[in-house]
Structure 1
Amino acid sequence: MWYKLFLYIHIISAITSIGPFFILLPMLAKLKSAELAARNAYLDTFRSANRLAKHMGHVLVASGIGLVLIGHWSWSTSWIVMTLAILVASLLFMARAFSPKLRKFNEPDLDVDKVVHALKRATWTYLILLLVMLWFMVAKPEFW
């Protein structure tokens, strides 16, 4: 029963860690031409979605640890090792990917197109990292 509960929590946290970034992509296109009030609303939404993804990422990691501890997987299983390696890379990436770019919207010499392009590239890069980790968890490939 505990394994199924941890698995359910793990799946829900994966959905809520990845999902918000798909919502942000069309919003980034609107951010380019938005007036100041609308731009601030979009930026608040971006920050909130980013915060939700970060917190659900903590739940995702905790439930993943629980699944390994109570399940039949070993820490040396290839797909777990690869997922952890990408997790570390994604954490390092996320630390510098969004907040500095979002702060640029407060600068007086703002180049909106450049910053939005950087945010879009960061969003896609982070999404790809998350989706690769998701693939490892679902497909469970054996490399060794």
Structure 2
Amino acid sequence: MNSMYKIILFIHIISAILSIGPFFVLFPVLNQMKGKNGEVLVSQIEVFQAAIRIVKHAGHVLVVSGILLIWQGRWPWSTSWVVMTIVVMISSIVFLAKAFKPKIRQFYAGIIDSNVLIQKLRLSLWQYILILLIMLWFMVAKPNIW
């Protein structure tokens, strides 16, 4: 394994950590949002959105470093775990686009109240974490499905 591959692998691992880690910090933020209103609630929503932005940008690095690893590595693009990782990754991108921002917009528009917002965000967090853990399993276990 050459040194460039090791550097890309390190970047890939760090970006994987950054693409899932902030979500676990958001559970205490959701707990603190209960019963809050006004500027306090808005500031906590902004923290939530900032964590989502970190995750999105880390995801960009994750995708680019993953492409470089496959290109430099010994696995063809048709390998089952590579294909399944890509499928899960695409579904995670679609899910992320629909999971958080629209719910926050509904809250600001007065369509849902803060309690419903917290419940929906918590459910979306768990669902997204599950999707990311499935993708992580494919990358680490590298199962031979076909």
Same fold per TM (> 0.5)?
yes
Could you tell me the percent identity over the aligned residues?
A: 48
How many angstroms apart in 1 are the aligned matches of 2:125 and 2:110?
A: 24
Number of residue-to-residue matches in the alignment: 144
Amino acid at match of 2:48: F
| Structure 2 runs not aligned, ≥5 long | none
The match for 1:6 among 4, 8, 29 is 8
What RMSD, in angstroms, separates the aligned Cα atoms of the two structures?
Answer: 1.1
- Aligned-pair distance for 1:25? 1.3
Q: Which residue of 2 aligns with 1:77?
A: 79
2:145 aligns to what SS in structure 1? Answer: coil
C-alpha distance after superposition, 1:79-120 (max 9, x if no partner): 111111101111111111111111223234542111111111
TM-score relative to the length of structure 1: 0.95
Structure 1 outlier segments of 4+, above 3 Å? none
Partner of 1:15: 17
> Whole-Å Cα distance in 2 between the matches of residues 10 and 56 of structure 1?
9
- CA deviation after TM superposition for structure 1 residue 142, in Å: 1.0
CA deviation map 1:12-57 (0-9, x unaligned) = 0000010000100121122121232221111111110000100110
| Structure 1 residues not aligned, in runs of 5+ | none
Identify the residue that residue 58 of structure 2 maps to in structure 1. Answer: 56
TM-score normalised according to structure 2 size: 0.94
